[in-house]
């Protein structure tokens, strides 16, 4: 199995840490998040990893090398300008027929092999790992009928929405949607694929998932990793 790790962003929400270090090298607990991700992929049976780099690419390449210390073959695709989450795939040669794509700043205990197998079983063109996110609205919510009469009131309701985890399995043909050497994100891909009624499926996950994109998230993920290290690095 082949994986693509998206690690080219500047990580501006984690400033000032990311002034001197790329976000994937920021420690979660006492281990850089990219090292956790690579070890998880290796233990799940992945052998080939392509890293999409941009910001501080040299530092990441120096740290990871050819991936042999993780039992992987790691190669690199460098973008000279920000291309978003999907456009970097257009630059890559040697993509497998089906491959995993994920952000390089996620702490999760998802079973990558099960996700991959699910995608193959459904003969999907894209499979999105999804998580039900609860958001408490700190306001009272009013609902009215057509004449404006209030018919329902909810005080500070908890809203539940299915969100993307930043982990996907794609069939190589999705690159046909990518216009070229220009910014093209996951949102653009989903708009196009759903408009075309393409075979896009959700893989629902209810385990542990942390995005370290912001300071509070990094603190929470670090506490979780130190508490349950064996779950993430079995």
Q: Which residues belong to the active site?
A: 156
Strands 150-155 and 158-171, sheet pairing: unpaired
Helix axes 57-64, 33-43, angle to 10 degrees: 50
Cβ distance 82 to 54 under 8 Å? yes
Cα-based torsion angle of the residue sequence 8, 10, 16, 21 in order, rounded to the nearest 10 degrees? 30
């Amino acid at each position: 199995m082949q994986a693509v790790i998206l690690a080219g962003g500047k990580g501006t929400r984690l400033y000032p840490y990311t002034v001197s270090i790329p976000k994937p090298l920021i420690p979660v607990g006492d281990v850089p998040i990219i090292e956790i991700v690579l070890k998880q992929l290796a233990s799940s049976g992945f052998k080939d990893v392509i890293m999409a780099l941009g910001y501080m690419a040299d530092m990441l390449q120096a740290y990871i090398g050819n991936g042999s210390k993780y039992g992987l073959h790691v190669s690199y695709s460098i973008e000279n300008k920000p291309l978003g989450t999907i456009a970097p795939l257009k630059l890559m040669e040697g993509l497998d027929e089906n491959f995993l794509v994920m952000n390089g700043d996620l702490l999760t205990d998802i079973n990558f092999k099960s996700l991959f197998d699910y995608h193959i079983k459904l003969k999907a063109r894209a499979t999105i790992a999804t998580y039900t996110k609860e958001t408490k609205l700190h306001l009272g919510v009013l609902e009215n009928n057509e004449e404006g009469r209030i018919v329902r009131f909810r005080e500070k309701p908890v809203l539940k929405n299915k969100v993307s985890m930043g982990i996907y399995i794609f069939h190589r043909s999705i690159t046909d949607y990518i216009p070229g050497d220009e910014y093209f994100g996951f949102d653009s891909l989903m708009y196009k694929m759903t408009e075309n009624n393409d075979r896009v499926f959700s893989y629902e996950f209810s385990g542990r998932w942390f995005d370290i994109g912001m300071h509070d998230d990094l603190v929470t993920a670090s506490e979780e990793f130190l508490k349950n290290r064996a779950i993430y690095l079995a």
